[in-house]
Chain A
């Protein structure tokens, strides 16, 4: 069963400033010897097509131009020589300031439908941080160095931070600091646009001077950028935040641990790794100036700076190649039940008699928005048949009372096949999807693709990570 399988995966990143698309090929292979129960892993990821960097199209400051965006994707597909039907998996992520636009959600979901059968739409600053850190190579670096590495992805609208401790993400933060919060006319060097977070910082420092000369503007911008970078510093160094910082910090779930090094990614990172630019207004924004402020910061002087494998493409690569997991190979899937999208992970409660119960937690998701939900089976003290049988009996009583079909169960131990078969015996008429090999945390959502050819394993995308504070 050493046959290789490939999946074509697309990653689309609709950011504050730019929109990018990559197509990658994921090679999956059974890594176990022929005489053992198979285990499918992603053995290789290769980029088959790297699209151009486009400016994200807007109708106005509050609306993303959906048609133009679809046009960009269609043209890139054409250039890559793929059709939406050929795309097996992937993710569209809407990031930074763009995620705040009024029609962001609507646009991205229609784009996901167009982009391919199993392309998921995702947003959320925490997930963006994780994806960027995977795409930049910070995750792999932390694993290789057995160290805790912070990935700092500086985009047009936000700076996304993720800590990776020996290959595992342990926390994220998102700060409203980016290279395109100010826009500048390259000829006159006058400010043409100040975004609302930047305006707040500006107001803090220059409450009374709305009329400034062009020479002053540069120093005003630099003051604001320095203040913004100092805010990032305080977040990373776990120092108390100042009043003006609170305007910028969107989420901060970073644990108070010592980091061993830093990787920069995002569009601005290019100017950190390749300093010496003379033309500050090359992009009509303050990206290069922001890079300069980061280089003069305590982040740059206190930590070892590593170079990742990607800067501006980090997020799109992460979305395209690093979002897919593969389930265990011994699972139970009733026919014609997959794919499934947007299943909330539902954790059980322990009842007085030491049994597990999902009924109460499931009530939180009775909203018709969710087609069905994924019931999590936490690690059991042992995997004896009798333990599994008693678990299956509990589930068979509760499953008919929980809305949605098929019934999806995700075990955190290698028991999905025996549990699934037991449930099929107890509930012969109810379609069941019983998986393992996927680590889930409270607050996660997951998408499950069709089973791989010749294997029982299924690709799974886990979204919206939340970290314990």
Chain B
């Protein structure tokens, strides 16, 4: 037998063996997967559980007090244990919430979102989420092309310019804007305030307001921007307001309202509150610490 023949033989043997193994493993896998898919239907989504109403301690001595303590804080208290470590579902839920937060930072607001609310859509110098996260300076600037879209799409010198941006949470925009924006515009228009065309900025930082302000010269700009998500909520939004927004304005000139989400100030109510706060800024002609 030549060397070539014996090699062929060995390879054939090997292939046969692999085939056999593959068949075995696939049949084995199917044995395993069939019941597991059945189980999956019954597994509840851990993230759906309301942690503040989820009592993990078996047979608590004082159940009503335990419930009261749980309801008093969104923190993960009273989670019980298995030996010295947390229960599996506690650990999994922690990781699930962490994943939700990460998704919210890294996720994108859908392409068609700005058009749905008649917003002019812009993008900062950041070309990707990675660049956005590592280069805060680029998230405050617009290139010539985007400046051109801005000039063409938005009237200059509005009393109030509304800007929406994903910031660090795309989920915050999707969750809050549908309720916040109509309440805000209704409130402002009710007080006789003329609004510019709402702008959406992808990959934006708060101070992109300055760049837009420099171009459009509104009296007041307000930017509704996603907050850095935490384990409690990934949908929290902030509103930063500036009187006479322009390049070089300092942070202390901005008024901020944070914690806009279901568990904080509900979006619709926040919109109404922002309307009267912006009216005050217009009347006093100052924002930030100068407003106090």
Contacts and interface: CB of A to CB of B under 8 A. Distances in A.
Contacts of B186: 421-422, 425
A151 to B, nearest CB: 20
Interface string A405-448: 00000000111111011101100000000000000000000000
B52 interface: no
A417, A424, A425, A456, most chain B CB atoms within 10 A: A417
Interface in B208-250: 238
Interface stretch (A11-19, A44-52, A304-312, A381-389): A381-389
Given A385-B183, A424-B190, A146 B68 contact: yes
B183 A421 contact: yes
A422 B183 CA distance: 8
A107 B275 CA distance: 47
Nearest to A166: B68
B190 A385 contact: no
Contacts of A414: 265-266, 269
B159 to A, nearest CB: 17
A364 interface: no
Nearest to A328: B269
Interface residues of A, number: 25
Given A383-B266, A385-B268, A424-B190, A35 B257 contact: yes
Q: Is the interface of B mostly helix, strand, loop or mixed?
A: helix
B61 interface: no
A421 B259 contact: no
B266 to A, nearest CB: 4
A1 interface: yes
A455 to B, nearest CB: 12
Interface in A439-468: 456
A417 B276 contact: yes
B197 to A, nearest CB: 20
Interface in B245-292: 256-259, 264-273, 275-276, 292
A37 B187 contact: no
B90 interface: no
B102 interface: no
A33 to B, nearest CB: 8
B187 A421 contact: yes
Given A414-B265, A415-B266, A418-B272, A384 B179 contact: yes
Contacts of B178: 384-385
Contact of B271 (A35, A332, A418, A420): A418
A37 B268 contact: no
A330 interface: yes
B190 A37 contact: no
B17 interface: no
Nearest to A413: B266
B85 to A, nearest CB: 29
Contacts of B180: 385
Contacts of A421: 183, 186-187, 190, 272, 275
A35 B258 contact: yes
A384 B265 contact: no
Given A36-B259, A146-B68, 5 more contacts: A383-B268, A417-B273, A418-B271, A421-B186, A425-B190
23 contacts: A35-B258, A35-B259, A36-B257, A37-B265, A37-B269, A37-B273, A383-B267, A383-B269, A384-B268, A385-B178, A385-B267, A385-B268, A385-B271, A389-B182, A413-B266, A414-B266, A416-B269, A417-B269, A417-B272, A418-B183, A418-B187, A421-B183, A421-B187
